[in-house]
Amino acid sequence: MTLKVLIVDDDDIFVFLHETIVVDSGLSTNTAGFENGLKAYEYLNNNYKDGETYLILLDINMPEMNGWQFLDTIQTAPYANQVLVAIVTSSIDLEDRVKANGYPQVIDYFEKPMNIAKCESLKRKPEIMNLFYGV
């Protein structure tokens, strides 16, 4: 099983920064960046592979398809059980944190920006730790 990390954010600087941190932390060398949820959704629909786990670093506020719309849309997708999501946002709204917990794919919630420590904490999540620690 492999881990592909999708960075979904409408700010190109954050996409570049987060891709760099994901690779430098050893979380994954297999990354792709998207400017909104619609682009990421289209990518998954056309490219998902059985046996691959997709970790999505998902911003909430984006044009075309925001993070909530993306999460709502993937619930019925054939790959929904292969997708894990870490919300990565500038929102400090407690309601957003509560709402995120309502989605089975969401495994964490971070305030921007990502850093090495946050990537390390993702590696220890039960949903993917076997990819890093052989458990």
Predicted TM-score (pTM) of this structure: 0.95
CATH superfamily, domain at 2-133: Response regulator (3.40.50.2300)
Report the share of the chain in percent with pLDDT over 90. 92
Amino acid at residue number 135: V
Residue 51 has a pLDDT of 87
pLDDT tens per residue, range 34-69: 999 999 999 999 999 998 999 999 999 999 999 999
Supply the pLDDT for residue 134: 65
Provide the total of helices (H) and of strands (E) in the chain, helices listed first.
6, 5
Collect all residues with Cβ–Cβ distance below 8 Å to 113 and sequence separation of at least 6.
14, 17, 18, 21, 88
Confidence bin at 133 (pLDDT 50/70/90)? confident
